[in-house]
C-alpha cells in the first residue's frame, strides 16, 4: 500500500475532473533554476493535459539546463526572465495554475509576485517540507521520491493514466531518475520502482533517457568537475563535512553554462565518513549554496535557519547576500555550533 499525505481526497479529485471536463486555459509553473524533476514533471503534466484538449503553457522563472531540452514540449516552455512580455499575458489569462516541485511563491523568484496576484485556483503538487497555504488543491507528500512520482499519482486520481504515452513517460521517468540519484537515494520506494515499470510499459527506453540525461557532458563541464575535485574540495573531518566553493571568475574560466555544476556536490558527499556536503558558487548578485547529507542530518533545517533556503532533509539549498569569503566563514561557524550533532549523525 502506498500512502499519499495530501489534502486531495476523492471529492477533490472528482471536483477537479469535473472542472477539467471542458477545455480550459491552464498554466503550469515550477521553481527557479529548474532541475530534471521540475522540467520532467511540468512537461509530463503539460503533455497529458494537452492531450485532454486544454490550452496549456509551462512557464518557468528562468532558463533550464540544455541537457533537459530533448523532452517533448520543451520547445514551447516560456521563460519568464528572458521574455516576461510573452509569459505574463499567458499567466494572466490562466483559469487554473499548477505549481509543481515548489511550495512557496518565493521559490519562483520574481515570477512569484505575479503568481501571488493571480486570483485563480492553484493546484500544488510537491514533495518538499512545509507547504505554504495558498493552494485550492494540495497534493503534498514529503516521502515521495519526486514531483514526477506525484504527477503519476495525480494522473491516477484523475483517471488520466490511459493518456500515458512514451513522451509523457520519458518526462516523468527523467524526474524520477534525477531526483533519486538514479534510484539510489532513500526516497526511492517500492512505489517509485512500480511507477518506473508502468512508465516502461509505454515503450519508453530507459537506457536512452539515461543517455540523454547523463552522457551529454560538454568538455568544459568535465574539466570543471576535474578542477573542483583536484583543486577546490575542502574536507573538514571534525565536522564530517566536505565543500567546494567556486568564484565567479573560476566559473567563467570553464565557460560555465547552466547545469554544468549539477551533481558535483554528490562527489563531496561520496567521501568516506562525510555526512554533509556543500557546493557554493558566487553569482552575479548573491552566493548560492547547495547542500546534501546522509544519515538523517537535516540540511533542510540548516538551510532554513542560516541561509534563507530549504528543501528536503537530505537535499536543500540557500543563498547569502555577503561575500564568498564571509559565506564560508559563516558556514564554518554554524558547522562548529552543530559539531556534536554532525559527529553523532
Ligand atoms: Mn523534486
Q: What is the pLDDT of residues 166-212, one digit of tens each?
A: 999 999 999 999 999 999 988 999 999 999 999 999 999 999 999 99
Q: For 303-343, how does the pLDDT look when each residue is reduced to its tens digit (9 = 90+)? A: 999 999 988 899 999 999 999 999 999 999 999 999 999 99
pLDDT of res. 5: 55
Ligand 1 centre to CA of 101 (Å) is: 5
Q: Which residues contact 195 (CB under 8 A, 6 or more apart)?
A: 149, 152, 172, 176
* CA 275 to centroid of ligand 1, rounded, Å: 21
Measured CA to CA, the distance from residue 46 to residue 67 in angstroms comes to: 19
What's the 37 CA to ligand 1 centre distance in angstroms? 5
pTM: 0.89
Q: Is the pLDDT of residue 2 over 50?
A: no
pLDDT at 3: 46
Mean pLDDT, to the nearest integer, of 69-95?
98
Measured in Å, residue 331 CA sits from the centre of ligand 1 at: 25
Tell how far the Cα of 238 is from the centroid of ligand 1, in angstroms.
31
Instruction: Tell me whether domains 10-214 and 219-344 share a fold.
Output: no
* pLDDT of 40: 98
pLDDT at position 227 is: 98
Query: What's the CA-to-centroid distance between 147 and ligand 1, angstroms?
Result: 5
Contact criterion met (CB below 8 Å) for 289 and 276: no
Q: What is the pLDDT of residue 143?
A: 93
pLDDT of residue 258 exceeding 90, the answer is no
Percentage of residues in the chain with pLDDT exceeding 70? 98
Ligand 1: centre distance to CA 340 (Å) = 30
| Alpha helices per DSSP H over the chain | 10-19, 36-51, 84-93, 111-117, 147-157, 166-179, 190-200, 206-214, 219-227, 248-253, 264-269, 299-306, 324-337, 339-344
Distances (CA, A) of 113 to 62, 117, 118: 15, 6, 9
- pLDDT reading at 221 higher than 50: yes
Domain segments of the chain: what residues? Answer: 10-214, 219-344
Mean pLDDT of 243-252: 97
Q: What is the mean pLDDT of residues 73-95?
A: 98
The CA 322 to ligand 1 mean position distance, Å, reads 28
Please check whether the domain covering 10-214 is classified as CATH 3.20.20.140: no
> For 118, phi and psi rounded to 5 degrees?
-70, 115
249 Cβ contact partners less than 8 Å away, ≥ 6 residues apart = none
What pLDDT is recorded for position 68? 96
Return the CATH number of the domain spanning residue range 219-344: 3.10.310.30
pLDDT for 312:
87
Query: What average pLDDT does the segment 73-84 reach?
Result: 98
pLDDT in tens, 25-74: 999 999 999 999 999 999 999 999 999 999 999 999 999 998 999 999 99
pLDDT in the model for residue 219: 94
* Confidence at 130, pLDDT banded by 50, 70, 90: confident
- The model's pLDDT over 260-298, given as tens digits with 9 standing for 90+, comes to 998 899 999 999 999 999 999 999 999 999 999 999 999
Task: State the first-to-last Cα distance of the chain, in angstroms, to the nearest integer.
Answer: 30
DSSP state, residue 105: G
pLDDT at 9: 86
Q: What is the pLDDT at residue 4?
A: 54
CA 78 / ligand 1 centre spacing (Å): 20
- Cell digits of residue 77: 516552455
204 C-alpha to ligand 1 centroid (Å): 21
Coil, helix or strand at residue 250? helix
Q: Could you tell me which of 127, 177, 134 has the C-alpha nearest to residue 153? A: 127
**Cα radius of gyration rounded to whole Å, the chain:** 20
Amino acid at each position: 500500500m502506498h500512502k499519499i499525505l495530501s489534502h486531495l481526497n476523492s471529492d477533490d479529485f472528482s471536483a477537479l475532473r469535473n472542472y477539467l471536463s471542458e477545455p480550459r486555459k491552464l498554466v503550469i509553473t515550477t521553481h527557479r533554476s529548474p532541475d530534471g524533476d521540475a522540467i520532467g514533471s511540468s512537461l509530463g503534466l503539460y503533455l497529458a493535459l494537452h492531450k485532454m484538449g486544454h490550452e496549456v503553457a509551462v512557464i518557468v522563472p528562468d532558463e533550464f539546463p540544455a541537457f533537459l531540452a530533448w523532452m517533448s514540449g520543451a520547445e514551447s516552455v516560456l521563460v519568464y526572465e528572458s521574455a516576461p512580455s510573452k509569459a505574463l499575458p499567458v499567466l494572466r489569462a490562466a483559469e487554473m495554475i499548477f505549481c509543481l516541485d515548489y511550495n512557496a511563491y518565493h521559490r519562483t523568484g520574481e515570477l512569484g509576485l505575479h503568481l501571488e496576484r493571480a486570483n485563480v485556483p492553484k493546484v500544488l503538487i510537491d514533495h518538499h517540507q512545509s507547504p505554504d497555504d495558498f493552494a485550492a488543491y494540495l497534493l503534498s507528500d514529503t516521502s515521495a521520491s519526486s514531483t514526477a512520482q506525484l504527477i503519476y499519482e495525480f494522473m491516477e486520481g484523475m483517471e488520466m493514466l490511459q493518456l500515458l504515452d512514451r513522451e509523457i513517460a520519458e518526462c516523468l521517468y527523467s524526474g524520477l531518475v534525477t531526483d533519486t540519484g538514479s534510484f539510489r537515494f532513500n526516497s526511492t520506494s517500492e512505489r517509485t520502482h512500480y511507477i518506473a515499470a508502468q512508465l516502461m510499459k509505454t515503450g519508453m527506453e530507459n537506457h536512452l533517457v539515461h543517455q540523454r540525461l547523463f552522457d551529454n557532458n560538454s568538455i568544459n563541464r568535465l574539466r570543471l568537475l576535474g578542477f573542483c575535485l583536484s583543486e577546490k574540495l575542502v574536507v573538514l573531518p571534525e565536522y564530517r563535512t566536505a565543500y567546494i566553493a567556486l568564484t565567479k571568475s573560476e566559473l567563467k574560466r570553464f565557460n560555465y553554462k547552466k547545469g554544468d555544476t549539477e551533481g558535483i556536490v554528490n562527489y563531496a558527499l561520496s567521501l568516506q565518513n562525510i555526512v554533509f556536503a556543500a557546493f557554493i558558487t558566487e553569482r552575479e548578485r548573491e552566493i548560492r549554496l547547495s547542500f546534501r547529507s546522509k544519515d538523517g542530518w537535516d540540511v533542510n533545517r540548516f538551510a532554513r535557519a542560516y541561509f534563507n533556503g530549504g528543501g528536503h532533509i537530505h537535499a536543500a539549498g540557500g543563498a547569502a547576500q555577503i561575500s564568498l569569503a564571509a559565506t564560508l566563514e559563516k558556514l564554518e561557524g554554524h558547522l562548529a555550533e552543530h559539531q556534536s550533532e554532525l559527529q553523532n549523525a
